Structure 1
Amino acid sequence: MPPIEKLIDSSKTSFLYLLIVIGLITICDFIFFVSTEQYSSAILGALACLSLHLLPVYFFRNKIKLYLFFLTPIFIFLPLNLASIILFDVPINDATIVLALNTNPAESFELLKGYIPSLLISFLLYVGVLYLLVRKIPATISANNAKIIGIASISVFMLLPLVSFDGGSYFMKLRTRYYSIFPTSLLYAGNAVFKQNRLINSSKEQRAKYLFHAKAETTIVDKQVHLLIIGESSRYDHWGLNGYSRNTSPKLSKRENFISFSNAAAGGFITEFAAPLMITGVGADNFDKHFQQKSIVSLFKEAGFNTYWISNQVDQGHIKVHIDEADNKFLNLSDSKATKNVHRDMELVGALKKVLGESGTKKFIVIHTAGSHYDYSVRYPDEFDFFKPSNKTIHSKSADKAFKDVLINSYDNTIRYSDAVIDSIIGLVSSQNALASVTYMSDHGENLFDDSRDLSQHAYPVPSKYIAHTPFFVWYSPILKNRFPTKIDNLQKHVNSKVSSENIIHTLSSMSGLTYPLQDSLKNITSPYFVDNEQKILGADKKVYLVETLK
């Protein structure tokens, strides 16, 4: 028989392994809060997570391994959440889930290809260490130790809300505390996405019955072509025509009848939110209203236009709701099964040629580009590899600041390519000799390691000012200018006014000679009554931010 002292030490050591395994669950939030200098949240979050997962130990004291088996899903998602935090500085949230659901294998590979080897090795090491730790855990825990764990856990569980300085009732603080930590934060985010999808489906009948009651100006006898181009991840200050030190817009800089607005703001921080806000105009405060109504596509359709949606993206979820309103859809470029063939935006110009060649004198077209979506070097062909070195020749990870200059060179090449695409679109529309316009606005901007936060790309829960400030262009044909000179004058007068994607539907419809009861002259940039937009942007967890307060 071994000495009693060794049995005691062995028992304590085995119990320590259990604490270590449960403690692993806290590591995600601890790293995130420490990295964002929220030190009190790091400590309180770790205590909350420990108390939550140690509470059941008393009830499973005779079957500890069974309890750990029930925690398997948590241990599976833990490395995914940790990878999101380490690589992209953000835990998995509702936006992450939406992005994962609405991307394709090619885009996922573009984002993760630089990390795959290290992620795979790290995951295998994690599984190995976890397996060894679990083997050391005893099958049972004494009732006395289980009681101590239970009392301590429930005490921490109940007392933590009292430490919070936020407002609200005790139970509201309790709920907030435990919704903000992994894995309940993941469940909360998943539930939010589920509710959104359920709302989309339940509102289908209401959308179908929605009418703008739009009317077209009957005195217009000219052929009409109006385009709305939805850009991707393009930021205002990286366009040469907006004052950027690099000549990233050699073609559009020479375009006549062309206006670039200096103070335009995105409505959402990711495409899934930004695009519906742009085409419905409901505003960031009322995002859920876009489920109940139709978009600018149906507005033009009611006024007698043939409508088209041409896309180089995987338009699902919130966006697909409104794509289905179009008479004609060219979505083959967004083949979600394509992993080898790369579709670039100039192919959209080919689709546009077909559309413009079809019969009909009134056409409204939405073109959704891939723009400057990461991987930047994949977005443009070799002949547009103007700024070097780029990721065409130097492979780097998407969030690696050491390669900041290479990433920015690649990004600026996407802008130069977008310049060529937009100019080609304008050239095609101009050749129609029609009362026509081309409106371009990016869904949101992009972070490029701009300050000490070292942010990259755009999926952070709180958007930055670099995400909010987007390019917004309007080109108009000579025929349109002659038909509506006052409206064009008003556009030019407001070139430096505060505008946002919320203004698109009111402005583009007015510029096209359409009217409808909800058309707001205060939001219509072609109107003499236009006033500065309040500029709000939707972030993660449906939080709305004033753009002027963003850093």
Structure 2
Amino acid sequence: MNYWLQIKEFLLRGEQRIYYWIFTFSLLLPNVVLSVVMQQSMIGRVLNILLMLPLYMLVLLVAKRPGRVYWSLLVLVLLHMFQLVLLTIFSGSVVAVDMILNLFTSEPDEATELLSNILWPIIGSLVLYVPVLVLATFSARNPKTLTKRFRKRTALYALVLLIIALPIYIGAKRRFPYLHLRAEVYPMSVFYNMYLATKKLNQVFHYSYSSQDFAYGATSEHAEEEREVYVLVLGETSRAHSWSLYGYPRQTTPHLDTMSREALIPFRDVLTQSNTTYKSIPIILSPADASSAEELPRVRGILEAFKEAGFYTAFISNQPGNHSYVDFFAMQGDEHHSIRKELRREKRRLYDADMLPYLRQLLSSEHRKLFIVLHAYGAHFSYRDRYPACAQSFPVPRRYSGAAKDSLTLRNAYDNAIVETDRFLDGAIRLLGAQDRRSALLYVSDHGEDVYDDSRERFLHSSPDVSYYQLHVPLLLWFSPAYREAYPDVLRAVRANQQRAASTNAVFHTLLHIAGVKTRYRADSLSLASPSFAEGTRYYLNDRYECLPIEELDLAPEDLVLFKQKGLRIDPSLCVKP
């Protein structure tokens, strides 16, 4: 106890100048780290420090006891702690719009999965900042104050730094008009992202009103008495790189690998238009794509189009609700089943295969025309929770972390999740194949995933700076014998387009084309089942909802090499160099 009293007395007698510089450094720490690891221009790295350092210096001089100012900045300190934890997941990324939206749209169980695997980074952040907050308390209670001379001299230094920083920014702005402080300098960038996220949330909250007058005016080109069923399987976090169907050395898709290519047609060059479920699934389910994302609050989903054309529609999901356009689109069907709610009494972990009984029941119904969406949980983190332990193909120990040191284990668990997706798809195709109907199934993943694949040690998805692993997704079509016999022209067009470059916005138009659903919103130039399909420029909807060509995404050299190795269409000469 005597030692504690001595330490307490020492801290209370401490020099406020020492406290002041400790507080300044702790506030600037995220800027220093980001200037090293963030993928941005050199001018952005310089401004990240040169602009924020004098601002922090001036703010801490507002009071004679800087600890009081530091405590008044508690919200900013908490943001710094969150930012540093985030850097252990998404190296080089600031708190982005999609990350903020995820705070409001993720279910507790989904958030718990991630939090349980970043416990040590959270503890590390607490170890950094809690002691500084303790020092701020002693500073606030210390009878000593910053001297008038120190405050004047330090304020002068800060103003000199600002005078140096502002001309640098003005000159850079003239040379690079797209340069914005809100994009380059932390925490200004985060506050701007919060503003954008608030706007997007407001649009979602008012969706029922903004879309109430929308109609597809859809009709069916197929005979009314025709018995047909079309199934869209929405994959989750499944990257083409890890499918043996696309050349991965491990056998992760054994059922699909051996399936007849008369019936199964995989597309090899498909890129997602967003690396977040929140944006990519609405793009897949509607005519609003990356180039027209502003239309999302107005349009209704694909189930509405099929319903207008005379189909009985159903949306079955193994995903937790996320209070987004996805949920609204799901509820526009005749049936909507969230198996996580309906089967929760079974008190066991649910897998994508648990949706198959719902599919079986719908297929045995008397509805002549069916359109069914199965929203899988796929390979979403935590990977080992996506498959039964007894069914794992690659060894995964009971305990492991989400850190780079366990990268091999994480990839094993991820690959096991892909194997489970293969089993699930095989089960769905078998159910369709047993039907005396003209039927087709389309599978597409919303986006991919980084799993510590190279020296960059990137992990998960949703990061503002996207990678090859997050962009390249699997897309495949399966057709029943009855469909192939009835519509040989469609099959010829599908095979002709199999090797062509496409994006996930093709799914909406392809399904309408295959099912013979006619509407003014169907663009055959975007349909993989049409002879009119045109490759064109491929776009991506970035974190700030800006539509950019793939070549302008600041892809790293490692990503460009993989694009070339995989034979994906991209023009390296047009790529913006990091």
TM-score in same-fold range (> 0.5): yes
Distance 1:261 1:107, change over 3 A: same
Distance 1:540 1:55, change over 3 A: same
Shift of 1:217: 1.7
Q: 1-side partners of 2:326 and 2:150: how far apart? A: 54
What is residue 165 of structure 2 aligned with on the other side?
160
Q: 1-side partners of 2:389 and 2:186: how far apart? A: 43
Q: Which runs of 5+ in 1 are unaligned?
A: 1-9
Q: 1-side partners of 2:124 and 2:37: how far apart? A: 23
What is residue 136 of structure 1 aligned with on the other side?
139
Give yes or no for contact 1:281–1:504 (8 Å, CA) kept in 2: no
- Specify which of 522, 530, 550 is matched with residue 533 of structure 2: 530
Give yes or no for contact 1:241–1:253 (8 Å, CA) kept in 2: yes
- Specify which of 345, 359, 362 is matched with residue 352 of structure 1: 359
Q: 2-side partners of 1:448 and 1:530: how far apart? A: 34
What is residue 4 of structure 1 aligned with on the other side?
none
Shift of 1:56: 3.6
What is residue 326 of structure 1 aligned with on the other side?
333
Partner-residue secondary structure (3-state), 2:269: strand
Shift of 1:80: 1.5
Q: Please state if 1:412 is matched with 2:415.
A: yes
Residue-by-residue CA offset, 1:254-296 (whole Å, 9 max, x unaligned) = 3331110011111101111111111113221222211111121
Shift of 1:474: 0.6
Partner-residue secondary structure (3-state), 1:396: coil
Q: Please state if 1:207 is matched with 2:214.
A: no
Q: 1-side partners of 2:207 and 2:352: how far apart? A: 33
For residue 177 of structure 1, what is the amino acid of its counterpart?
Answer: L
Partner-residue secondary structure (3-state), 2:268: strand
What is residue 278 of structure 1 aligned with on the other side?
284
- Specify which of 29, 32, 35 is matched with residue 30 of structure 1: 32
Distance 1:52 1:178, change over 3 A: farther
Q: 1-side partners of 2:320 and 2:122: how far apart? A: 26
- Specify which of 231, 234, 253 is matched with residue 230 of structure 1: 234
When structure 1 is superposed on structure 2, of 273-282 and 332-341 the one drifting more is 332-341
Q: Please state if 1:502 is matched with 2:508.
A: no
Shift of 1:26: 1.6
Residue-by-residue CA offset, 1:209-234 (whole Å, 9 max, x unaligned) = 11111110252522121111110111
Residue-by-residue CA offset, 1:410-458 (whole Å, 9 max, x unaligned) = 1111111100101111111222211211100000011122333221221
The share of aligned pairs that are identical, in percent, is 23
What is residue 426 of structure 2 aligned with on the other side?
423
Distance 1:226 1:70, change over 3 A: same
Partner-residue secondary structure (3-state), 2:51: helix
After TM superposition, the structure 1 = structure 2 runs for residues 114-153 of structure 1, keeping only pairs within 5 Å, are: 114-116=117-119, 119-120=122-123, 122-124=125-127, 126-136=129-139, 140-153=145-158
Q: 2-side partners of 1:470 and 1:166: how far apart? A: 37
Q: Please state if 1:191 is matched with 2:195.
A: yes
After TM superposition, the structure 1 = structure 2 runs for residues 328-477 of structure 1, keeping only pairs within 5 Å, are: 328-333=335-340, 341-388=348-395, 390=396, 393-398=397-402, 400-477=403-480
Residue-by-residue CA offset, 1:48-99 (whole Å, 9 max, x unaligned) = 22223333445x3356444333211112222121111134313321121122
What is residue 320 of structure 2 aligned with on the other side?
314
Q: 1-side partners of 2:108 and 2:276: how far apart? A: 18
What is residue 562 of structure 2 aligned with on the other side?
none
What is residue 55 of structure 2 aligned with on the other side?
52
When structure 1 is superposed on structure 2, of 283-292 and 179-188 the one drifting more is 179-188
When structure 1 is superposed on structure 2, of 310-319 and 327-336 the one drifting more is 327-336
When structure 1 is superposed on structure 2, of 181-190 and 527-536 the one drifting more is 181-190
When structure 1 is superposed on structure 2, of 265-274 and 452-461 the one drifting more is 452-461
Give yes or no for contact 1:506–1:524 (8 Å, CA) kept in 2: yes
Shift of 1:360: 1.6
What is residue 73 of structure 2 aligned with on the other side?
71
What is residue 5 of structure 1 aligned with on the other side?
none
Shift of 1:149: 3.9
What is residue 269 of structure 1 aligned with on the other side?
275
Give yes or no for contact 2:441–2:479 (8 Å, CA) kept in 1: yes
Shift of 1:247: 1.6
Q: 1-side partners of 2:433 and 2:258: how far apart? A: 14
- Specify which of 307, 319, 322 is matched with residue 301 of structure 1: 307
What is residue 481 of structure 1 aligned with on the other side?
484
For residue 298 of structure 1, what is the amino acid of its counterpart?
Answer: E
What is residue 243 of structure 1 aligned with on the other side?
247
Partner-residue secondary structure (3-state), 2:399: coil
**TM-score scaled by length of structure 1:** 0.89
Distance 1:511 1:409, change over 3 A: same
Shift of 1:520: 1.4
**TM-score scaled by length of structure 2:** 0.85
When structure 1 is superposed on structure 2, of 429-438 and 133-142 the one drifting more is 133-142
Partner-residue secondary structure (3-state), 1:364: strand
Give yes or no for contact 1:510–1:526 (8 Å, CA) kept in 2: yes
For residue 346 of structure 1, what is the amino acid of its counterpart?
Answer: A
Give yes or no for contact 1:314–1:336 (8 Å, CA) kept in 2: no
When structure 1 is superposed on structure 2, of 131-140 and 442-451 the one drifting more is 131-140
What is residue 6 of structure 1 aligned with on the other side?
none
When structure 1 is superposed on structure 2, of 487-496 and 516-525 the one drifting more is 516-525
Partner-residue secondary structure (3-state), 1:329: strand
Aligned length: 535
Give yes or no for contact 1:500–1:533 (8 Å, CA) kept in 2: no
Give yes or no for contact 2:181–2:189 (8 Å, CA) kept in 1: no
When structure 1 is superposed on structure 2, of 411-420 and 249-258 the one drifting more is 249-258
Give yes or no for contact 1:232–1:370 (8 Å, CA) kept in 2: yes
Give yes or no for contact 2:242–2:252 (8 Å, CA) kept in 1: yes
For residue 462 of structure 1, what is the amino acid of its counterpart?
Answer: D
When structure 1 is superposed on structure 2, of 502-511 and 164-173 the one drifting more is 164-173
Q: 2-side partners of 1:179 and 1:229: how far apart? A: 36
Distance 1:335 1:15, change over 3 A: farther
Q: 2-side partners of 1:373 and 1:184: how far apart? A: 31
Shift of 1:334: 6.0
Partner-residue secondary structure (3-state), 1:280: coil
Q: 2-side partners of 1:98 and 1:335: how far apart? A: 26
- Specify which of 239, 258, 262 is matched with residue 254 of structure 1: 258
Give yes or no for contact 1:106–1:340 (8 Å, CA) kept in 2: no
Distance 1:340 1:287, change over 3 A: farther
Q: 1-side partners of 2:15 and 2:346: how far apart? A: 49
Distance 1:14 1:65, change over 3 A: closer
